[in-house]
């Protein structure tokens, strides 16, 4: 019977759903904020991100425009397509910090670095202490 088959997401569906989630988070948008901008319900957005239902191309197009990323961003990871670093809006220093952090192979060392950065971020370094 038409319409009764359960949606079985494929790799492309999962990549797009993951890309939507990641870009929403990178932009600091809640489900509510992005759903409102896409003119869909929060429940629909949650179901798209979880690949419970297929994401319509029209919604994907609006998402790319809303999140200010090329539509191909949502397909990163498929067929070796790398993510566009410019769409992540990382500064050169942020990229360097991430590369250095990833080069740390000792979990204890990583934990110390994170604690140090958290501590440093808690201090006011503008001289008004």
Q: What is the mean pLDDT of each run of 10 residues along the chain (129 residues)?
A: 71 87 86 96 95 93 92 78 54 72 87 90 68
Name the token pair of 78.
Answer: 């498929």
d(CA 48, CA 66): 16
d(CA 92, CA 2): 51
Domain containing residue 109: 92-122
Name the token pair of 120.
Answer: 């440093």
Tell whether 29 is covered by a domain. yes
Is residue 22 domain-shared with residue 82, that is, in the same domain? yes
Is residue 103 domain-shared with residue 74, that is, in the same domain? no
Tell whether 35 is covered by a domain. yes
Give pLDDT tens digits for 60-80: 999 999 998 888 888 877 776
């Amino acid at each position: 019977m038409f319409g009764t088959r359960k949606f079985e997401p494929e790799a492309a569906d999962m990549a797009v759903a993951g890309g939507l989630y990641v870009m929403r988070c990178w932009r600091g948008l809640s489900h509510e904020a992005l759903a409102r901008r896409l003119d869909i319900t929060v429940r629909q957005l949650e179901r798209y991100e979880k690949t419970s239902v297929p994401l319509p191309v029209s919604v994907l197009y609006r998402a790319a425009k809303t999140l200010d990323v090329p539509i191909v961003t949502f397909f990163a990871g498929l067929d070796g397509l790398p993510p566009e670093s410019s769409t992540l809006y990382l500064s050169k220093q942020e990229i360097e910090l991430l590369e250095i952090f990833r080069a740390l192979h000792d979990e204890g060392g990583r934990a110390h670095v994170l604690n140090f950065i958290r501590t440093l971020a808690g201090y006011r370094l503008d001289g008004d202490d």
